[in-house]
């Protein structure tokens, strides 16, 4: 977990895809995973038929209070109430229950991911190679703000499609699972 870049994670993902099939794959990445799948497409374009990005951050900085809440979810010394408040701020739209994400926070993994982000120049992975990209953007995401999706759409208008969903934030998967499944399946059926 030391001295990794996004491309180290991408190599692992590409290797798994090659072992599963000889044909190019659709890679779906949520949050940090969106960075990894874009790195896969940048490094191994022949292995990727399309990308689906859920919470496609990485270009536009989040507000300082949101960044603090995101950092706090990995602080093990927080009380359960303080931890839940941080999860709510960083990940959940108003009215959605953050209690579904009370466990599973791994500070060591978060630190390795952060170091990999810093060790990989943004321009090396952000474009996702030449792959077609579907971005499912949560309207209320303060971590991967809608400005991130707009930035990608403006940079690559011919290959980026953005669909914005309401009543969802960075934790869009537990917030809107059926809608996201329908959007992804619909996109894949058109390919």
Is it the case that residue 36 has pLDDT exceeding 90? yes
The pLDDT of residue 59: 87
Separation of alpha carbons 16 and 168, rounded Å = 31
Task: Return the pLDDT at 103.
Answer: 85
pLDDT at 56 over 90: yes
What's the rounded mean pLDDT across residues 26-47? 97
So what's the pLDDT on residue 109? 92
Q: Under 8 Å CB-to-CB from 141, ≥6 apart: which residues?
A: 55, 57, 168, 169, 170, 172
Query: What integer pLDDT is reported at residue 102 of this predicted model?
Result: 87
DSSP one-letter string for 6-36: HHHHHHHHHHHHHHH-SS-EEEEEETHHHHH
Average pLDDT of every residue of the chain? 95
Share of the chain above pLDDT 90, in %: 93
Hunting for tokens 């536009």 — which residue is that?
60
Domain ranges of the chain: 6-190
| Tokens matching residue 84 | 């839940």
- Look at residue 1 in the predicted model and tell me its pLDDT: 76
DSSP states along 152-183:
HHHH-TTTEEEEEESS--TTHHHHSHHHHHHH
The structure tokens listed for 159 are: 């290959």
Q: Which fold has domain 6-190?
A: Rossmann fold (3.40.50)
Residue range 71-105, pLDDT digits in tens: 999 999 999 999 999 999 999 999 999 999 988 88
Instruction: Please identify which residue in the block is written with the tokens 């809107």.
Output: 176
Q: Looking at residue 50, what is its pLDDT? A: 98
Cα–Cα distance for residue pair 151/36, rounded to 1 Å:
18
Residue 29 per-residue DSSP state:
E
108-162 pLDDT per residue, tens: 999 999 999 999 988 899 999 999 999 999 999 999 999 999 999 999 999 999 9
In this prediction, residue 58 has a pLDDT band, given cuts at 50, 70 and 90, of: confident
């Amino acid at each position: 977990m030391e001295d990794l870049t996004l491309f180290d994670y991408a190599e692992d993902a590409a290797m798994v895809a090659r072992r599963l099939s000889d044909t190019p794959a659709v890679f779906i990445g949520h949050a940090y995973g969106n960075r990894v799948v874009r790195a896969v497409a940048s490094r191994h374009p022949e292995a990727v038929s399309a990308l689906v990005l859920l919470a496609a951050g990485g270009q536009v900085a989040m507000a300082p209070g949101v960044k603090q809440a995101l950092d706090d979810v990995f602080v093990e010394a927080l009380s359960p109430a303080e931890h839940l408040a941080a999860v709510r701020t960083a990940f959940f739209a108003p009215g959605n229950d953050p209690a579904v994400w009370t466990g599973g926070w791994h500070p060591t993994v978060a630190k390795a991911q952060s170091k990999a982000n810093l060790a990989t120049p943004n321009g090396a992975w952000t474009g996702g190679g030449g792959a077609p990209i579907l971005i499912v953007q949560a309207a209320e995401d303060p971590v991967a703000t809608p400005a991130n999706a707009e930035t990608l759409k403006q940079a690559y208008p011919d290959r980026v499609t953005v669909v914005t969903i309401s009543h969802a934030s960075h934790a869009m998967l537990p917030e809107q699972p059926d809608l996201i499944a329908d959007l992804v399946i619909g996109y894949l059926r058109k390919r």
